[in-house]
Amino acid sequence: MKKTSTRLADGRELIYYDLRDDTVRDAVDRRPLERTVTTSEVRRDPLLGDSVAIASHRQGRTYHPPKDECPLCPTQGERLSEIPDSSYDAVVFENRFPSLAGDSGRCEVVCFTSDHNSSFADLTEEQARLVLDAWTDRTSELSHLPSVEQVFCFENRGAEIGVTLGHPHGQIYAYPFTTPRTALMLRSLAAHKDATGGENLFDAVLESELAGERVVLEGEHWVAFVPYAAHWPYEVHLYPKRRVPDLLGLDEEARTEFPQVYLELLKRFDRIFGEGEPPTPYIAAWHQAPFGALEDFEGVNRDDFALHLELFTIRRTSGKLKFLAGSESGMNVFINDIRPEAAAQRLREVASS
């Protein structure tokens, strides 16, 4: 992998990740952009104890542009985009309309491929490995920013999820706090460790799932399963079998196998609802240990946390979506329409060929 860092016309950082070491990236952003001005701030809710990002400047962000005006496609002639070069393998740049910025963190866009009509599932194993390496590199770099406590790499896919740009891409949020969902995991981890005299909860969950009926697919270094208490109609958790706290901890064997397992999993997601159905909308979310102090979680350290990816869709059956209504949105109590065991069985049945 070759990494080339440059600047866009408004001062934002852009980084090319190339498969070939001899690739030259010297294209200049020719757009007449002014410096980006953001109004992001983080406010803490005193009752719930969580944080909310206030980002009113995002109302003006790009919204469902026509294909020939996609800002994530490479620049072609006088059709200028966020990527100055005429082609790329993978690229990361600071979001022009960030939810978090400055002392409130940082937001980046990750473009998986220059092919507008593609998707992550269409990538070659070499391309998927490049994206994994880009995620890892950005996790490392962002973790050193003084305002950053947790790094979250994710992909939103599909208009049903709320995606406003059709080009295959994901995002990275670098939060100035430990996110509520991670805090819940850490509390459960601490409580289990105390109650069992030191047993790791992630290890116990993984051991239980490996011995059960909800495993979807398994490799030498990774395993994908539908969790016992799945929140979403089709939800799969992907774990490395050797516990590591973050993407930086993966060894070469796990990095090599990841594209094989993950691409197969994404292809199965697109086959859940049968032939002729539109692509399955999903969210793919990497969970990594916070880089900040963990004093609030007594007895727990970073190495106790287990890196994993959670992949889920809001489509519950053909033509029908799972909406977060009163119980889910009002009280955070999910109601799942599909038994996790049935979801796992369906995902085993639709193995791609």
Q: Which residues are catalytic?
A: 169
SS3 per residue for the chain:
CEEEEEECCCCCEEEEEECCCCCCCCCCCCCCCCCCCCCCEEEECCCCCCEEEECHHHHHCCCCCCHHHCCCCECECCECCCECCCCCCEEEEECCCCCCCHHHCEEEEEECCCCCCCCHHHCCHHHHHHHHHHHHHHHHHHHCCCCCCEEEEEEEECHHHCCCCCCCEEEEEEECCCCHHHHHHHHHHHHHHHHHCCCCHHHHHHHHHHCCCCEEEECCCEEEECCCCCCCCEEEEEEECCCCCCHHHCCHHHHHHHHHHHHHHHHHHCCCCCCCCCCCCEEEEEECCCCCCCCCCCCCCHHHCCCEEEEEECEEECCEECCCCHHHHHHCCCCCCCCHHHHHHHHHHCCCC
